[in-house]
């Protein structure tokens, strides 16, 4: 995760942690530019520029008409954001007991509460806790969701879920929920000037299918490279994959490298009785647009006040039905949006020609044509404000 959108920042502002989070983020004067190129060793094709946090804040104050989020978004890696929230819980929230390193094994619910079985991932020790309610925020493989017997609906085939019939769909045939596999490389490099050859880039993207994300605008990046059908990424050398994608070798240190598969899934229900779900346990999207974690923050906020209403005795049980109606609608809408944005990238790749790599007059012509095509298609994945703020 590399973008916390304006709506999520409004919610963090409500919780009083905005300043703590921004202290870990990319500096507020840094630009948000999305740059398309053929390779780092080649040519720039198209650019989409967006205001810095400070520029956006000035714009929001000048307009002040309610059509935008109150807070600008924030560029920060999830690796940096999560420890800040964890420390806040441990240091300042006496009513919270933090037990990292324990995993949900199962649960049994009755009319009066939930008995929850947990296991230490380090020692294997097991415990049973008794609770009024269980919130299953336990990710895509959610034990809570499976324990409720709630299936996931998938959308990866052309049909009523496809936003436009002419957009190409790429599906990993091993699982109807899988979109084409990717290989992630998280790395450090001192060669920021070389990587910023086309200007400071938040995202550097190529019609070849890879996307390079600046995590801190200093020395840390993440690249996602497509895995083609029949390829076995378990045998890949991460440095060589990185060099092949960029078209040149750079000084770097690999922190993490692994294949992964985006999914498009939505839970058919968001809970029942005293067990309710939020986050990736209910929806899994393609990262285009940054809707995964941000949608989860909205889920957690909505479920949090509904649980508070039950525990404090001022809300009825039908608030859970309202939670599901509200958040599942958002989850479905955001799943469609992430699908649409990914399809746009597939279209850019489908229209790709090897001629864009040529240092020739025909190469110049091919790059000009493909760059104009990218600009015409636009960059809605970073401009869909109704999705982000809604």
Cα distances (angstroms) measured from residue 176 to each of 45, 170, 263, 264, 297 = 33, 11, 9, 9, 27
CA gap 27, 365 in Å, rounded:
38
Residue 155: which pLDDT band, with cuts at 50, 70 and 90? low
Look at residue 1 in the predicted model and tell me its pLDDT. 80
| Rounded percentage of the chain residues whose pLDDT exceeds 70 | 94
Indicate the burial class of 64 (C-beta count within 10 angstroms; 0-12, 13-18, 19 or more): exposed
**pTM to 2 decimals?**
0.91
Q: Residue 178's pLDDT is what?
A: 56
Please, what is the Cα angle at 337 between 208 and 47, to 5 degrees? 45
SS3 238: helix
The whole-angstrom separation of Cα 40 and Cα 366 is 17
Q: What is the pLDDT of residues 206-256, one digit of tens each?
A: 999 999 999 999 999 999 999 988 899 999 999 999 999 999 999 999 999
3-state secondary structure of 99: coil
Whole-number Å distance between alpha carbons of 302 and 296: 10
User: Counting beta carbons within 10 angstroms of the beta carbon of residue 96, is it exposed (0 to 12), middle (13 to 18) or buried (19 or more)?
Assistant: exposed
Residue 75 pLDDT greater than 90, yes or no: yes
Q: What is the DSSP string of 180-206?
A: PPEEEEEEE-S-HHHHTTTS--SEEE-
Pairing of strands 211-214, 220-226: antiparallel
Beta strand extents in 52-181 (DSSP E only): 74-75, 102-109, 114-120, 126-131, 134-136, 152-154
Give percent of the chain with pLDDT exceeding 90. 85
pLDDT tops 60 at residue 176: no
- Position 159 scores a pLDDT of 36
Q: Going from the N-terminus, what domains does the chain have, and what CATH number goes with each?
A: 1-98+183-256+358-390 (3.30.9.10), 99-131 (no CATH), 133-179+261-350 (3.50.50.60)
The pLDDT tens digits of the residues spanning 77-135 come to: 888 899 999 999 999 999 999 999 999 999 999 999 999 999 999 999 999 999 999 99
For the segment 194-199, the average pLDDT, to the nearest whole number, is 96
Q: Residues 331-365: pLDDT tens digits?
A: 999 999 999 999 899 899 888 899 999 999 999 99
Looking from the CA of 377 toward its CB, the CA atoms found within 13 Å total: 24
- The chain-wide mean pLDDT, for the chain, equals 91
Q: Measure CA 260 to chain center.
A: 13
pLDDT in tens, 36-59: 999 999 999 999 999 999 999 999
CA of 33: how far to CAs of 79, 347, 348, in Å? Answer: 22, 21, 18
pLDDT exceeds cutoff 60 at 162: no
Instruction: List CB contacts of 146: < 8 A, sequence separation 6 or more.
Output: none
């Amino acid at each position: 995760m590399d973008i916390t959108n304006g709506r999520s920042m409004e919610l963090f502002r409500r919780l009083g942690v905005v300043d703590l989070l921004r202290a870990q983020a990319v500096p507020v004067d840094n630009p948000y530019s999305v740059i398309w190129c053929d390779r780092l060793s080649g040519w720039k094709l198209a650019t989409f520029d967006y205001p810095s946090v400070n520029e956006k804040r000035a714009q929001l104050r000048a307009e002040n008409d309610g059509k935008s989020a109150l807070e600008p978004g924030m560029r920060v890696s999830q690796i940096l954001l999560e420890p800040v929230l964890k420390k806040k819980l441990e240091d300042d929230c006496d009513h919270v007991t933090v037990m990292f390193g324990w995993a949900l094994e199962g649960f049994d619910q009755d009319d009066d509460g939930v008995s929850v079985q947990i296991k230490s991932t380090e020692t294997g020790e097991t415990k049973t806790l008794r609770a009024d309610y269980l919130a299953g925020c336990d990710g895509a493989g959610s034990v809570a969701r499976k324990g409720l017997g709630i299936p996931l609906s998938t959308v990866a085939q052309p049909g009523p879920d496809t936003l436009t019939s002419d957009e190409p769909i790429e599906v990993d045939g091993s699982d109807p929920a899988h979109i084409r596999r990717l290989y992630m490389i998280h790395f450090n490099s001192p060669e920021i000037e070389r990587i910023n050859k086309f200007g400071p880039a938040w995202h550097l993207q190529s019609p070849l299918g890879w996307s390079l994300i600046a995590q801190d605008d200093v020395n840390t990046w993440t690249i996602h490279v497509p895995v083609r059908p029949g390829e076995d990424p378990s045998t890949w050398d991460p440095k060589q994959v990185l060099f092949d994608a960029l078209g040149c070798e750079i000084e770097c240190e690999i922190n993490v490298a692994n294949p992964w598969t985006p999914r498009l899934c939505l839970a058919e229900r968001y809970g029942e009785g005293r067990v309710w779900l939020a986050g990736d346990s209910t929806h899994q999207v393609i990262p285009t647009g940054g809707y995964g974690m941000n949608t989860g923050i909205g889920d957690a906020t909505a479920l949090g006040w509904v649980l508070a209403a039950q525990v404090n005795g001022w809300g009825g049980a039908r608030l859970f039905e309202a939670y599901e109606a509200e958040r599942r609608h958002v989850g479905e809408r955001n799943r469609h949006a992430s699908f649409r944005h990914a399809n746009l990238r597939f279209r850019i790749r489908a229209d790709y020609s090897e001629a864009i790599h040529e240092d020739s007059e025909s190469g110049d012509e091919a790059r000009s044509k493909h760059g104009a095509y990218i600009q015409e298609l636009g960059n809605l994945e970073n401009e869909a404000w109704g999705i982000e703020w809604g």
